[in-house]
């Protein structure tokens, strides 16, 4: 209950509009994308790892800002409808983790299917059905070569640890991994 109240207050403070809570772990709110997997009501997506805001990917035209594309895509989806957030009991980087649906469509799954996120199945051990959907969405994007699958990319978790494509690295980091 405290988390729901605190989250509702945080929403009001950051410009989101919270409507009635259906239970302790579900809220409704308008959202704004900060990056591909973080929205203004500070909930990290459960089981989906989107490209980071400054991350680059490579296609036949060279490096392109796939992290910015992930943020823009999440923002577009969030603005297109009403969001429902279901919080888990987990946290990451001090933020609650949850699923977000926009008009009934899973935001994480949509990001993965667009080639702008990868499934984080190790976090979905307690939700095998979602893990299967996320893997299927990834395979869909990969087969159609959409988003980052049109070329090369670094997994977002590895990118956060410092790995870079040669086209985005500093001069001393030119060796591509």
Q: What is the 3-state secondary structure (H, E, C) of the chain?
A: CHHHHHHHHHHHHCCCCECCCCECCEEEECCCEEECCEECCCCEECCEEECCCCCCEEECCEEECHHHHHHHHHHHHHHCCCEEEEEEEEEECCEEEEEEEECCEEHHHHHHHCCCEEECHHHCCCCHHHHHHHHHHHHHHHHHCCHHHHCECCCHHHHHCCCCCCCCCCHHHCCCC
Low-confidence ranges of the chain (pLDDT < 70): 1-31, 39, 169-177
Instruction: State residue 26's pLDDT score.
Output: 61
| Domain spans in the chain, listed from the N-terminal domain onward | 2-173
Q: What is the pLDDT of residue 101?
A: 96
Q: What is the pLDDT of residue 28?
A: 52
* Residue 169: predicted pLDDT: 65
CATH of domain 2-173: 2.40.50.90
pLDDT at residue 96 in the model: 82
Q: Quote the pLDDT of residue 6.
A: 36
């Amino acid at each position: 209950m405290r988390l729901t109240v605190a989250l509702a207050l945080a929403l009001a403070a950051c410009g989101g509009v919270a409507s009635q809570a259906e239970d302790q772990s579900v809220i409704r709110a308008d959202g704004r994308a900060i990056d591909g997997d973080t929205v203004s009501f500070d909930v990290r997506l459960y089981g989906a790892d989107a490209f980071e805001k400054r991350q680059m990917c490579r296609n036949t035209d060279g490096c392109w800002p796939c992290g910015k594309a992930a943020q823009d895509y999440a923002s577009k989806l969030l603005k297109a409808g009403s969001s429902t957030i279901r919080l888990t009991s987990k946290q990451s980087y001090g933020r609650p983790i949850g699923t977000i649906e926009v008009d009934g469509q899973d935001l994480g799954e949509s990001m993965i299917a667009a080639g702008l996120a990868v499934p984080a199945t190790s976090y979905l051990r307690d939700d095998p059905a979602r893990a299967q959907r996320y893997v299927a969405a990834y395979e869909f994007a990969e087969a159609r070569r959409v988003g980052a699958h049109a070329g090369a990319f670094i997994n977002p978790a590895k990118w956060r640890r410092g790995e870079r494509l040669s086209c985005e690295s500093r001069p001393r980091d030119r060796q591509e991994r």
